[in-house]
Amino acid sequence: MSLQPPPVLVPPVQKSHREPPPQAKKEVKGPLGALLAFCAVAWKFILPALKLLKGAKFLLTGASMIASVWVYSIAFGWPFAAGFVLCIFVHEMGHVAMAAQQGVPVTVPIFIPGFGALILQNRWAKSAWGEALIGIGGPMAGTFAAMVCWGCYFVTGQGIFLGLAFFGFMINLFNMIPIMPLDGGWIVSAISPFLWLIGVVIMVVMASMGLIRNPLIWILVLLSLPHLWSGLKRGTADPMGGEVTTKTQKLAMGIAYLGLCGLLVVGMTATHDGLLEIRAQKRALIRNVPAH
């Protein structure tokens, strides 16, 4: 997943113009306010310290990866958690590789325990086509990682690899939902920003029906609204003053998007059936064990 601010719809203010007076910020009181204040003060000391360390930018990736492994290990055990986080890392490096190909500087991957990971772009690509290439790089790499796990299952017969493959296909398919700032949102931006509206509806319906129980989903929906409003108003996701996505590029990205979604559906379905078969075999073995 990669995040950027929505496109600016008004020309920047010149330095000679007088800046409006800053608005007073509302203070958050109670335990939450105290926690936020502590984090703000601590960050002022931590950030300079990190800058002094050689390779400090990779410290955030490593620390957030370890934190994610710890969180996931509570529910799934550390071997599965480590493999799952590694697959997410491969997904994010797909974004990084495509961003480098487009000449767009990005941050190192930042892991968010319980929600995945993201990278931040320091500037926009030249067109929605470029953003779509960066967006699809992650799911393509993530799908490859899931297929490698699937292959490891056939070689070793270990169910953990089949589980990793299933979750890999499922997470990457979820990321293909056409809502900003998920990967699917960046991908379909090269096709039509009106597809973002479909993504918002899908996400709201899934969250309302309880199919997705992560409360961060509602934050995701809120983050998508500025992009949606801008896309519907302008009729395009190409940055102002940038290159225009051609019809050929729109068609190519549409085919790639549908093809990758289809591959992920097939992979998720097949690995899910395999997990059900393994579960059925274990139950059969338990029934056949003679009582002592």
pTM recorded for the entire structure: 0.75
For the packed helices 128-156 and 247-288, what is the interaxial angle rounded to 10 degrees?
20
Domain boundaries, the chain: 48-288
Cβ-based burial of 170 (10 A; exposed 0-12, middle 13-18, buried ≥19): middle
Give Cβ neighbours of residue 151 (< 8 Å, ≥ 6 apart). none
Return the CA Rg of the chain. 22
Residue 121 is classified by DSSP as B
Q: Give the pLDDT of the chain (292 residues) as one tens digit per residue.
A: 655 544 444 344 444 444 444 444 455 444 444 445 545 554 554 455 445 444 556 777 888 888 899 999 998 888 899 999 999 999 999 999 999 888 888 888 888 887 788 888 888 888 889 999 999 999 999 999 999 999 999 998 889 999 999 999 999 999 999 998 899 999 999 998 899 899 889 888 888 887 777 777 888 888 888 888 888 888 888 777 778 888 999 999 999 999 999 999 999 999 999 888 888 887 877 777 665 5
36 vs 27, 28, 111, CA distance in Å? 10, 8, 20
